[in-house]
Amino acid sequence: MDKCPNALFITDPANDVEIIENTKGRLLHGSGSWLQADSTFNEWLDCRASRVLWLNGDPGGGKTMLAISVLKSIKERIRAISSGPSVLLSYFFCDNKDNRHNNTIAVLRGLIYRLVHARPDLSSQFRALLEREGDQLFSSSIALRLLWRIMKEFFASPSIQRVYIVIDALDELDEESIDDFLKLLGPLLELEERNSKNQTNLDETDNCEVKWFLTSRNVRSISAILCQTLNVSLEDNLNHV
């Protein structure tokens, strides 16, 4: 098996689901079943297009546990449909108390690591960029743009049909990173808004369907952008929470 190049692909165990569960508590059986039965969630899950779903709520509502529930559900879904390497899952848990997990560079590094770990056969297309840029790929003024280019090139691979991406606690990124991340998603969010206003059918096959599942508190800078996309509010589902 081809090894993943450069320090970009060094896994960080503190961001693994098992470690997070050991720290915050195990996911209880049946937790998150209400979300997976929600019509908005299933619209996001099943539509044949790239979409963003935002799960929002006040502190203590269980957003991280719900994110873990979604992760496990998608893993089971991928196994059940025997999609092989054409349907992938990547994830990242933000943490404002850890400098390795509170900025957009860290988010993209973590997502890319898991994608390439799942498809090491595709890592060769990134070697030239990694070798050319070296440490600047993670620290220069253009690092964000370079890492985003890697993500987009991965999505453009003809053998990838769908990618699920789960990012928990977006509000725990630093303020500049929140703004940077939302700008990266800007073109997709604008397309969703235009299609929604024009009542265009979104159920159309993209070259690669990228499904973004984001969780955060009700932070003004985030809600101002994501309120126009698919969203599920914990405050609107207090009976389940």
| Predicted local confidence at residue 84, as pLDDT | 66
Domains of the chain in sequence order: 12-103+161-237 (3.40.50)
Burial (0-12, 13-18, 19+ Cβ within 10 Å), 241: middle
Q: Which of 2-11, 34-43, 181-190 has the lowest mean pLDDT?
A: 2-11
Mean pLDDT of 53-58: 96
- 217 or 237, higher pLDDT: 217
| Among candidate residues 223, 81, 78, the one with its CA nearest the CA of residue 164 | 78
Please indicate whether residue 55 or residue 120 has the higher confidence score (pLDDT).
55
Judged by average pLDDT, the poorest of 14-28, 85-99, 221-235 is 14-28
d(CA 137, CA 128): 12
Specify the pLDDT at position 3.
42
CB 147 within 8 A of CB 137: yes
How many Å apart are CA 157 and CA 123, to the nearest integer? 11
Tell me, what's the pLDDT at 7? 44
pLDDT band, very low/low/confident/very high, at 61 (cuts 50, 70, 90): confident
Residues 6+ apart with CB under 8 A from 178: 170, 171, 219, 221, 222
Whole-number average pLDDT of the chain = 83
Q: 224 or 228: which carries more pLDDT confidence?
A: 224
pLDDT for res 191:
86
Look at residue 4 in the predicted model and tell me its pLDDT.
42
Say what percent of the chain tops pLDDT 70.
76
Model pTM score: 0.86
Scan for tokens 């606690």, then name that residue: 169
Model pLDDT for residues 185-200, shown as the tens digit of each residue: 999 998 887 776 665 5
Sign (positive or negative) of CA dihedral 193, 195, 199, 203:
negative
